[in-house]
Structure 1
Amino acid sequence: MGTTEVQGKATVTRRNFLGGMGLAALGASALGMGALSGCAPQAAPKTAESAASEGSVALAETGSASPMAQINVPDWDFTTNTIEDFANTTMFSEIKIGPLTLKNRLIKSAASSMVPNEEQKAVAYHGAIAAGGMGAVLIEGSYIMLDRLDKRVNVADNDSRMTIEESPLKAICAEVHSHDVPCICQMKTATPGIVYLWENMGEEGETHKASLLSDGDIQMYIEDTIAGAVKLKEAGFDGIDLNAAGDNLPARFFSRFGNDRAPEDPYGPASIENRVRIATDVIKGVKERCGSDFVVQVLVNGAEENDGALGDNALCNTKEETAAICQALEAAGADALELRLGTFAFHEAQFVNDGCFAGYGYDGATSFGTTYDFDRHFDGFLDGTHSGCGLIMGACKYVKQHVSIPVGGVVFMDPALAPDYFENALNDGTLDLIYMHRPVSNCDQEYANKLRENRIDEIRPCCRCLNCLGGLCRVNPCNNSVFTDAMPEGYEVKPADGQKNVMVVGGGPAGMEAARVCAERGYTVSLYEKNSLGGLLEFAEMVKGKHESLGRLKNYLAHMLDVEGVNVVEGQEVDAAFVREQNPDVLIVATGGKRPELAAQGTEATPVVGVVDFLTQEIGRNVVVLGFNAQAVDAAHYLTAQGKKVAVVSPEPAEAFGTGQSMMLNAFVKPAFFAAGGRMYPECSLKSVGDGEIVVTNSFGLDVTIPADCVIDASTMEPNTGLADELEGTCDVYTVGDCATPLSIQNAITTGNLTARNC
């Protein structure tokens, strides 16, 4: 038996998957494995992409995966594309919504854009989406304050809503129309964060129960909504999108889960007619005041489940009730129906359904540590084997059998990911419309045009990382930077500042993005990579899972280098002498960060390995991961899915667990990790490594022994600016990504983009 003492304290902070070590550093064996040594045998996939998908399937078949990983096992065979000409597909055929004729079936949904009420940015943002070729653009309801209703609220100090007259809505609508695209505005009321002072509400109590509203409250809502629709028509809008899903006011009447009014009440739960009365009164009133040619679309829960107490869903709407509600809405004059997932306890899950598929091996995770079984929950008619892609389409297909107006679905609808899947769904009558948000609004406003023009490889893929909910898109820095000091020119890149030869060293995300933007500006660009393009993106996809589309991201970045004419040289080691030989005008160093020495020396029974090496190791059943950063935590999730017993140790406080991930992603993944048996040891430093165990010292000075067959060191990378420092003064020198600040994929791409725009 052996024990190795740790000298000093290991510093374990946050960092990302991108670094100075190329894929060659992993060794061929790492990229050829879908699961860890020591797991049940399985066929070795040839690529990281196949490893991420085939590995999880094989694990479920062999039974070596965690129980959670054996529910809703992903099958990535649905992502095929046999379409030769998208312009002649059903998705790019015309369709009518009431009197409106849409040029295609792709609609920008009304989800929050994180765009403030600043007219220049709001107009440019929505105009770019319309110019990008969508069939219609829906504007989020966050811009609107209604006449009387919104004067009776308690809101946070950062409430940015305006009256319709004060808002930029009229200018937004005019800009969208200038591209010959219909413009519809959502109307929503009573979402969390905006607490309406209903007459029956006490100082405390549930804010989303129907009984809180008096008859006067109800009439005020109906009248204000109709009056708001009239103002929107006067502003030029083609219609409204009535939000009757999730926590929005009509939804609490639709479902018995929220409708706790007396059975004899005219708005009570005793009949479908009573439950929908508020919504149908609004629809009829809008049609009467605005005319039959003013569109009223309704957003509804297509399938419901009680995520807070999974399975306790007796008060949730059945599919038969949902169909009856949709029939009543159509009878009142609704022109189209948009369906989304209906949950109740965690508000964000209502519009971020793909968060349920955010972690490796956690497909179907709620934010409460439980797991949906889509064969049973939500009435059992949703397909959970596609990592959430098109999840709501089962509900669309059922509702379409009971109504004659167009029906569509929203949340993780991404035809570029799975063209055949979505085209077949349109052709076989599963749904009529594809409502999209993040892939278009945040990632690529030209999505529709690129797809129609068969430029599918030029579409920036949505990674579903959910960083956009914090205001930062991983793949498109424009989403949060346009018309700021960092990007005052807006969406279009500035033309070249004279003729310059740009040399980019490093072919990870930061380097590829910098090279692409420099070439787009008109510079002559060469990119040098000592291994192969992508940095550690392939490794990251193996560990994080295929659901974040990191393989697609790598392929997009590499393809755009060809499109923009970048001279790419792989297998070239670059030092200062080589740079001087090339004599560039601009040098952009994107060589990634440096790996520190391992935090400790292992023993024969308990080796200590670096995070990029653990896939090739025989690591046993009990595994300790050092670090609370994104890389450490993603490795822990991967290991948990393999059936390992995982403990994560860090000197940081518990709140730092998952640092570098989006807060929303952690809201789903962190509870799943704990529910699957994962352990967290915050404020603990590694003291020693023994055979089969380690000892850590906690914040109280007490030693804690943790079983460990292997320790994976995910310590923070360090900046790697040596090449840039040596060449300072010889030309314009910049460092981007982890080379300058080891942090995250989105930081790498953002710094690469902004540097290229300003060099």
Structure 2
Amino acid sequence: MTGHEVLFEPLRLGGLTLRNRLVMAPMGTCLDAGGRITDDTIAYYLRRARGGVGTITVEGCLVSADTVGPEPKICGREYLPGLRRLVEALRPYDVTVGVQLMHPGRQVVEGPSVAPSPIPLNSAAPVPHELTADEIAGIVADYGAAAALAAEAGFDFVEVHGAHGYLPSNFLSPQFNQRCDEYGGSLENRARFSVEVARAITEQTGLPLVWRLNGDDGPSGGLTIEEAARVAAMVVAAGASAISVSAGTWLSLQVTLAPMAVPRGHMRPLAAAVKRAVDVPVMAVGRLDDPDDAAAVVASGDADLVLLGRALIAEPDWPDKVREGRLDELRPCIACNACVDLVGRGERARCSVNPEAGRELTWELKPAATPRRVMVVGSGPAGMEAARIARLRGHDVSIWERDDRLGGKLEVAGLAPSKREVLRFRAYQAERLAELGVVIRTGVEVDTAVVAREAPDVLVVATGAEPLVPPLPGIDSPHVHDAQELLRGEVAVEMGQRVVVIGGSATGCETAELLAARGAHVTIIEMRGSIGRGIEAITRRQLVRQLRHDGVEIRTRATVIAIEPGAVVHTDADGAAHEVPAGVVALAIGWRPTGAALAAPPGVEVRVLGDAEHPADFVRAINSGADAALAL
């Protein structure tokens, strides 16, 4: 008994029997080509099906031919072959397969922007075209036709994306639907579009319909949970077989795609409220990747099914490992949102902790033809992943770290209040390396002599990067420290003390966050026009909001020209000089790669990885480590 048995009980949904309570959430991948399903797309979903999830909802597919976006399409027969191949490929895995139907409305990347009312998404977005009644009827017909194509492709059910500010959600919002006809005003009128879409789908296809609904729009003036519960009952009356409850819009993505600082299960109360209003299965979502949390949602009756999104990108075998009680083997999703950020930029989905994600078609861990002695120096994300993959392939691997524990920059990054999840991945990787029999050497400074003594066949240099120290007047003052020293607690900062952080990068922001939480008065000085470069957009927005809430002063387009005993002097965008009081100064200006500092004897193959080669992000570090090990 694992204590999670409730997650593996079957459930009836419409005329379907789902083999367990775990559903893969629909998430964009950018693995399609011109709107068509590709072999890469199929391999991605196959990998999750093999991991034991009971139901897969394929990512949102566009229902209207005039809509332009990075999503796959289901608006014409030319898209049927790929959709059918996907369904047929998943059939052997005892998985129920559905597809999400979507119309982005005004939230388009390009192409026509339409909405119930001519209210733009933001000040930089175009004013959307206000749909006429005839145009609304045409889009309703598009949903019905798309559902018919889904049935022809062999899908078991369809889901309508009626949340997150897309077209049905936009109609429901009293903030953005200001119509005075039968599609605006009262809740019943605002829900009319959703009800008509639900009826068109169920009447034309007979497929079970899941309706994804916002329990709360997030911004003031949007749909509330009380209204959402009533809308859920309306779409059920119109034929929906289940309700999937989410929250947030483009304006509140920290709710929809919660970064690691947001508590797990933050949307669970919304699902529970909808569950009380309908008599069909309800799906809950929102950082429910902890097995105990997921089981509690179902056991309590707050929802009948649990959606796993980013968790299955990080750990495709999550269902099987939980069912078998192998909880310590779960690769943790750290909610860094790197996958979301890449797809949002139109790039293929990748993962910070799982280098296989997004390249399942070509991923193959073949045993090495000739096992070799591999010495990995540095245990940050690139070094640990290189060591793990190399050992899995049969190489004799050792990993060397100058600090007293593995992790490199992961250890420091995880000290910020909003980054604690990083430490879970550090612990996971360290445990895997120990289990695999990788020789671990900590507290050792590796130089050329150590490498010569060990005489490896391959030297993997993953020593990371060192902080940049600019030649500023006063830079050598005793009250000036590297920001990492403050994150580690090596420099005492008293309550109320004035701290200036020079540099608004990720490290600078995290240092400011930690010190402000401890009661210091913190000012960030940044040369660029904004802070948080290198941080994923949703996480950055949340972090900057928290910094401002905590009273951190942010000065951008400011250039430091000197550090004095009690102040930092900088110029503003106009060249005027200003002083900022500073009892402590933290340097977070940038990084310099260290890979060239370590040499190897003749005959030793050398590979330089991650920040040691070029300072970059977590995804690049993990993938560079994996790629190096796959090539050995």
> Common fold, TM-score beyond 0.5?
yes
SS, match of residue 680 in structure 1: strand
1:281 matched residue in structure 2: 196
1:119 maps to 2:38: yes
Check whether the contact 1:131–1:179 (CA below 8 A) recurs between aligned residues.
Answer: yes
Written as runs of structure 1 = structure 2, the 5 A alignment for 1:63-74 is none
**Conserved 8 A contact 1:410-1:436:** yes
Structure 2 equivalent of residue 640 of structure 1: 516
Q: Secondary structure at the match of 1:91?
A: helix
Residue deviations 1:410-449, cap 9 Å, x none?
A: 232212xxx33332221111111111211213x1222222
Q: State whether residues 727 and 733 of structure 1, in contact with CA within 8 Å, keep that contact through their aligned partners in structure 2.
A: yes
What is the deviation of 1:556?
A: 1.0
1:198–1:214: 8 Å Cα contact kept in structure 2?
no
Tell me which residue corresponds to 2:326.
Answer: 455
Q: C-alpha separation between the residues in 1 aligned to 2:142 and 2:284?
A: 27
Q: Which amino acid in 1 is paired with 2:168?
A: P
Are 2:63 and 2:74, in contact at CA under 8 Å, matched by a contact in 1?
A: yes
Q: Which residue of structure 1 aligns with residue 447 of structure 2?
A: 575
1:186 aligns with 2:58: no
Q: How far 1:455 sits from its partner (Å)?
A: 2.3
- Which residue of the other structure, out of 562, 565, 576, is the alignment partner of 2:434? 562
Residue 745 (str. 1) matches residue 618 (str. 2): yes
TM-aligned CA distance change 1:209 to 1:456, over 3 Å = farther
Deviates more, 1:280-289 or 1:214-223: 280-289
Are residues 1:106 and 2:22 paired?
yes
Residue in structure 1 matched with residue 6 of structure 2 by the alignment: 90
User: Is residue 2:245 matched to residue 1:245?
Assistant: no
Seen in structure 2, the aligned counterparts of structure 1 residues 572 and 607 have a Cα distance that, compared at 3 Å, is closer
Report whether the alignment pairs 1:523 with 2:387: no
Q: Distance in 1 between matches of 2:406 and 2:113?
A: 56
Residue in 2 aligned with 1:394? Answer: 269
Deviation at 1:669, TM superposition (A): 2.4
- Structure 2 counterpart of 1:166: 78
Structure 1 residues 577, 190: closer, same or farther in 2, change over 3 A?
Answer: closer
Q: Which runs of structure 2 are paired with 1:191-206 in the superposition (5 Å)?
A: 191=105, 192-193=107-108, 196=112
Structure 1 segment 380-391 matched on structure 2, within 5 A: 387-391=262-266
Contact 2:173–2:190 (Cα < 8 Å) also in 1: yes
Residues 1:567 and 1:205: Cα distance change in structure 2 (over 3 Å): closer
Structure 1: how far apart are the matches of 2:96 and 2:141? 25
> In structure 2, how many angstroms separate the alpha carbons of the residues matched to 1:205 and 1:232?
30
Instruction: Report the CA distance shift for 1:526/1:226 in structure 2 as closer, same or farther (over 3 A).
Output: same
| Pairing 1:291-690 to 2, within 5 Å after superposition | 291=206, 294-306=207-219, 310=220, 313=221, 316-343=222-249, 346=251, 348-349=253-254, 351-352=256-257, 354-355=258-259, 358=261, 387-415=262-290, 419-441=291-313, 443-471=314-342, 472-480=350-358, 482=359, 490-530=362-402, 531-547=404-420, 549-596=421-468, 607-614=479-486, 615-620=489-494, 621-650=497-526, 652-655=527-530, 657-674=531-548, 676-690=550-564
1:236 aligns with 2:110: no
How many Å apart are 1:125 and its aligned residue? 0.7
1:725-754 C-alpha deviation (Å, 9 max, x unpaired): x21632111111222223333332221111
Distance 1:115 1:159 in 2: 9
Is 1:138 matched with 2:138? no
Instruction: Measure, in 1, the Cα distance between the counterparts of 2:483 and 2:115.
Output: 57
**Is contact 1:518–1:525 with CA below 8 Å preserved after alignment?**
yes
SS in 2 for 1:515: helix
- Distance in 1 (CA, whole Å) between partners of 2:152 and 2:338 is 36
Q: In structure 1, what is the Cα distance between the partners aligned to 2:518 and 2:318?
A: 36
d(CA) in 2 for partners of 1:423 and 1:242? 26
Pick which of 734-743 and 220-229 moved more. 734-743
Structure 1: how far apart are the matches of 2:571 and 2:208? 64
Query: Retained in 2: the 8 A contact 1:106–1:134?
Result: yes
Amino acid at match of 2:321: K
Aligned to 2:345: none
CA contact (8 A) 2:566 2:583 kept: yes
Corresponding position of 1:217: 135
| Deviation for aligned residue 1:401 | 1.6
Amino acid paired to 2:47: A
Alignment partners' CA distance in 2, 1:271 and 1:302 = 14
Indicate how the Cα distance of structure 1 residues 537 and 198 shifts in structure 2: closer, same or farther if over 3 A, else same: closer
- Alpha-carbon spacing, 1:616–1:228, altered in 2? closer, same or farther (3 Å): same
Q: CA deviation at 1:470?
A: 3.0
Q: 1:244–1:494: structure 2 CA closer, same or farther, 3 Å change rule?
A: same
5 Å matches for 1:720-731? 720-722=594-596, 724=598, 726-727=599-600, 729-731=602-604
Whole-Å Cα distance in 2 between the matches of residues 98 and 587 of structure 1? Answer: 58
Equivalent residues of 1:253, 1:269 under 8 A apart: no
Matched, 1:258 2:176: yes
State the one-letter code of the partner of 1:718.
R
**Change beyond 3 A, Cα 1:171–1:607:** same
Query: In 1, Cα distance between the equivalents of 2:375 and 2:610?
Result: 16
Letter of the aligned partner of 2:382 in structure 1?
A
C-alpha contact (below 8 Å) 2:521/2:551 kept by paired residues: yes
8 Å Cα contact 1:138/1:184 also seen in 2: yes
Cα distance in structure 2, aligned partners of 1:702 and 1:275: 54
For structure 2, the residue ranges without an aligned partner over 5 or more in a row are 343-349
Q: TM-score normalized by structure 1?
A: 0.74
Instruction: Determine helix, strand or coil for the equivalent of 1:138.
Output: strand
Q: Partners in 1 of 2:177 and 2:116 — Cα distance?
A: 14
What amino acid is the match of 1:744? D
Per-residue deviation at 1:706?
Answer: 0.9
CA 1:458–1:204 in 2, change beyond 3 Å: closer, same or farther? closer
Structure-2 residue corresponding to 1:378: none
Higher relative contact order (CA 8 A, sep 6+): 1
Percent identity reads 28
CA contact (8 A) 1:619 1:709 kept: no
TM-score, scaled to structure 2: 0.88
Query: Contact between 1:461 and 1:553, CA under 8 Å: does it hold in 2?
Result: yes
1:678, CA displacement in angstroms?
A: 2.8
CA contact (8 A) 2:55 2:97 kept: yes
Could you say if the C-alpha distance between residues 506 and 241 of structure 1 is closer, same or farther in structure 2, counting changes exceeding 3 Å? same
Say which of 711, 718, 740 aligns to 2:585: 711
Q: Do 1:606 and 1:689's aligned partners in 2 also have CA atoms closer than 8 Å? A: no
Paired letter, 1:329: V
CA contact 1:738–1:748 (8 Å) conserved in 2: yes
Q: Partners of 2:325 and 2:437 in 1: how far apart?
A: 19
Correspondence for 1:269 among 166, 185, 189: 185
Distance in 2 of aligned mates of 1:740 and 1:204: 43
8 Å Cα contact 1:208-1:252 kept in structure 2: no
Change in 2 beyond 3 A, CA 1:698/1:349: closer
Instruction: Describe the shift of the 1:163–1:520 C-alpha distance in structure 2 as closer, same or farther (beyond 3 A).
Output: farther
Q: Is the alpha carbon distance of 1:497 and 1:700 closer, same or farther for their aligned partners in structure 2, counting shifts above 3 Å? A: farther
* Deviation at residue 525 of structure 1 after TM alignment: 1.6
CA distance in 2 between counterparts of 1:604 and 1:580 reads 36
Number of residue equivalences: 611
Unaligned runs of 5+ in 1: 1-83, 359-386, 484-488
Q: CA deviation at 1:546?
A: 4.7
Q: Distance in 1 between matches of 2:413 and 2:133?
A: 55
Three-state SS of the structure 1 residue aligned to 2:391 is helix
For 1:536 and 1:205, how far apart are their aligned partners in 2? 38
